[in-house]
Structure 1
Amino acid sequence: MQSGLVLVTGASGFVGKWTVLELLRAGFSVRGTVRSDLKAEAVRAAVHEHLGADAVGRLSFVQTDLMHNAGWLEAMDGVSAVAHVAAQIVGIEPKDPHEVVGPALEGTERVLRHAIAAGVRRIVMTSSIATVAYGHGHETGKRTYTEEHFTNLEAMKYTWAYCTGKTKAERRAWEMAKTDDLELTTIHPGAIMGPALDEDTSISLGLVGAILEGRVKARPSNGFSLIDVRDVAAMHVAALRKPETAGHRYLAAGDYVPFPEVAEILREAYPDREISRKDVPDWVIKLVARFVGGSARQIINDIGNEKHFDRSKGEALLGRPFISGKEALLASAESLISLGLVKKATA
């Protein structure tokens, strides 16, 4: 597929906006799903700034909600493919997991069901490394995962809502693809960094902002497999252009960077900022996760071990190496500062 109308769900999100941009840049027309006119206007503004008025002319919107049927028939009308990017991501583990699991699982079912009804067979879906690297008995040391690994929720010692929702949603998507003859490709990002287009960023960039502002007082030992948002968007476009990617999963996870190294990269680039050098012991994170929850619950499975991901298949899809973790981090920080989304450094 080299052209046509592509539906992008969650078009106003961090990954969604970049996916819209890259699809338009590649010559596609795009219809985005948004939850309000205000969100649609923000996407239009980003497209106009980066691609100009002609690209805006190939962009349209429909208001929808992953948890409701209204608007989805209209959204699917006349489209040749769907990039299902929309997701509910929270920084603090919710008391009710359904707040995250519902939009992931039910939302995916709703999108695919309406695509099937409209005769749309080509789906590229944003999944996550959360659906890959958990429930395999890996508690210490270094291990590398490939597209062949699939998270086993039943074997996880500590579950969290995002992992549960994403894993159930992807499994359901593959079931529906098999039953209804869909041409499904899934993209699996790690921690997504890279330049923000406006103030509507992401949890990951919020962490970078918190480090730059000195609000992160102590650093956990665990790390992240980083990926630049521009690579994630480019992988969606590449998958849509290559029919042979249907039926495949692609990992979008590059350099593994420990949290203390993240802080040091930012300190070196911004020496005028008060970035903490204190480390928090692993046992403290485990204690907090077990009895308090919160954000600690979301990283406890990564304390004491390194999860690396085979990048060969993803880089082959792009036809080039991933943007480095350091470059993605610094692009995140630079954009947050230039957009005025972090406080100025104190004198």
Structure 2
Amino acid sequence: MKKVFVSGGSGYIALHCIARLIQKGYFVKTSIRSLSRKQEVVDSISKVVDCDGKLEFCQLDLLKDDGWNDALDECEYVLHTASPVSLLLSNNPDDLIKPAVNGLERCLNSAVKNNIKRFVMTSSFSAIGAGSKEKELDDTNWTDINNPNISPYDISKTKAEMFLWEYVSKLDKSKNIEVCSINPVIVVGPSLSKDIGVSNTVVKKILDGSSPMVPRFGVNLVDVKDVADMHIEAMINPKAAGKRFLLSSESLWFTEVSNILRLNNFNKAPKFTAPNFLVKILAIFDKELKIVLFYLGFKNTLYSNNAKKILNWKPKKVNQALIDTAKQLYELGILK
């Protein structure tokens, strides 16, 4: 049974990756910051697959060297999903950037030491087109880290992925390791745990009744099940080495997302689109709305060329993922 190391095992995407790996016959070793969360992860995975005897844990911290050298022992592949996540503006960018880059370096060093065959990094669209108003973007684009319209999170994901490619380019040929990156847009779909993930807060915001209107801007979405499947396909596909994989299923106006939910009896979803001038006024008092201002009235088209051509990806429509997420939010009592 081939062994795969998955970092950040309690995370939203990581849990789906672990479940799919076990379903496909792999043994998984995963890291969590505290072993006190071990049972939580087991319970989450067990909702979809029996993980008894197929999953082991280790305690690792992105900011500490302890344990990294031995963590990947006997593993053949690595899915590095661990990274700090925040959609809010931070006064200290290092809170995100340092863990993202330093944690990646620790994982890469261990991967090289343990002769890992393929290293798959969970990157983000944040490293491809954050702060960009280009109408069309694909796998080849990179975020400008000097752009004043991007967040510390965008910078952290971009710098981390840049570090990945720079690190590999400087390796001695005798220590060669195959790497690739997965760059999803906003990921939606039910969580396997009670933590719905940061990206699903998009659905929560639409349904929490806090606003009768939604701003006019585009959102790019992808189903979390697709994201997990593409991690695994990128891990084993011979042609995936050295590639970036932008994953975007659909580009929708925010109003369209709201309409999908309303048509499925989630009646708190707003009916109307807010005029741009109103959003600008409200942003004076709402920190989160300030992030939206730059994209008002804008929607782009993203091309997942590598995923479709190399990994044979056939994206799912996001309708069901949105509906199932909404249902889970009520089941968990997050929404009333």
- Same fold by TM-score, threshold 0.5 exceeded? yes
Matched, 1:235 2:255: no
Q: What is the rounded CA distance, in whole Å, between the counterparts of 2:115 and 2:313 in structure 1?
A: 34
Aligned length: 332
Matched, 1:59 2:51: no
| Mapping for residues 159-174 of structure 1, pairs under 5 Å | 159-174=150-165
Q: Give the aligned partner of residue 295 of structure 2.
A: 302
Deviation at 1:16, TM superposition (A): 0.6
Deviation at 1:239, TM superposition (A): 1.0
Q: Contact 2:85–2:153 at 8 Å: present in 1 too?
A: yes
Q: What is the rounded CA distance, in whole Å, between the counterparts of 1:106 and 1:216 in structure 2?
A: 39
Deviation at 1:71, TM superposition (A): 2.0
Q: Give the aligned partner of residue 111 of structure 1.
A: 107
SS in 1 for 2:268: coil
1:327 maps to amino acid: Q
TM-score when scaled to structure 2?
A: 0.91
Matched, 1:200 2:198: no
Q: Contact 1:93–1:297 at 8 Å: present in 2 too?
A: no
**Structure 1 segments of 4 or more deviating over 6 A?**
none
Assess, with a 3 A threshold, how the Cα gap between structure 1 residues 217 and 111 changes in structure 2: closer, same or farther. Answer: farther
Q: Give the aligned partner of residue 35 of structure 2.
A: 37
The CA RMSD over aligned residues, in Å, is 2.2
Deviation at 1:25, TM superposition (A): 1.0
Q: What is the rounded CA distance, in whole Å, between the counterparts of 2:275 and 2:330 in structure 1?
A: 30
TM-score when scaled to structure 1?
A: 0.88
Assess, with a 3 A threshold, how the Cα gap between structure 1 residues 284 and 175 changes in structure 2: closer, same or farther. Answer: farther
Q: Give the aligned partner of residue 329 of structure 1.
A: 322
Deviation at 1:131, TM superposition (A): 1.0
Deviation at 1:128, TM superposition (A): 0.8
Q: Give the aligned partner of residue 276 of structure 1.
A: 270
1:94 maps to amino acid: S
> What is the aligned-residue identity percentage?
28
Assess, with a 3 A threshold, how the Cα gap between structure 1 residues 323 and 79 changes in structure 2: closer, same or farther. Answer: same
Q: Contact 2:222–2:250 at 8 Å: present in 1 too?
A: yes
SS in 2 for 1:56: coil
Q: Contact 2:84–2:99 at 8 Å: present in 1 too?
A: yes
Q: What is the rounded CA distance, in whole Å, between the counterparts of 1:238 and 1:133 in structure 2?
A: 24
Q: What is the rounded CA distance, in whole Å, between the counterparts of 1:118 and 1:297 in structure 2?
A: 45
Q: Give the aligned partner of residue 14 of structure 1.
A: 12
Deviations 1:191-239 (A, max 9, x none): 0001221211212222312322313454111121100000000001111
Matched, 1:147 2:139: yes
Q: Contact 2:130–2:150 at 8 Å: present in 1 too?
A: no
SS in 2 for 1:269: coil
Note the residue ranges of structure 2 that are not aligned, 5 or more in a row: none
Deviation at 1:39, TM superposition (A): 2.3
Q: Give the aligned partner of residue 306 of structure 2.
A: 313
Note the residue ranges of structure 1 that are not aligned, 5 or more in a row: none
Deviations 1:276-299 (A, max 9, x none): 33544435555776x778323433
Q: Contact 2:87–2:153 at 8 Å: present in 1 too?
A: no
SS in 2 for 1:177: helix
Assess, with a 3 A threshold, how the Cα gap between structure 1 residues 311 and 72 changes in structure 2: closer, same or farther. Answer: same
Deviations 1:232-269 (A, max 9, x none): 00001111111220100111111111112111211121
2:262 maps to amino acid: R
- Segment drifting more, 257-266 vs 188-197: 257-266
Q: What is the rounded CA distance, in whole Å, between the counterparts of 1:34 and 1:85 in structure 2?
A: 11
Deviations 1:103-140 (A, max 9, x none): 222221221122223332521011111111146563xx
Q: Give the aligned partner of residue 245 of structure 2.
A: 250
1:74 maps to amino acid: D
Deviation at 1:158, TM superposition (A): 1.3
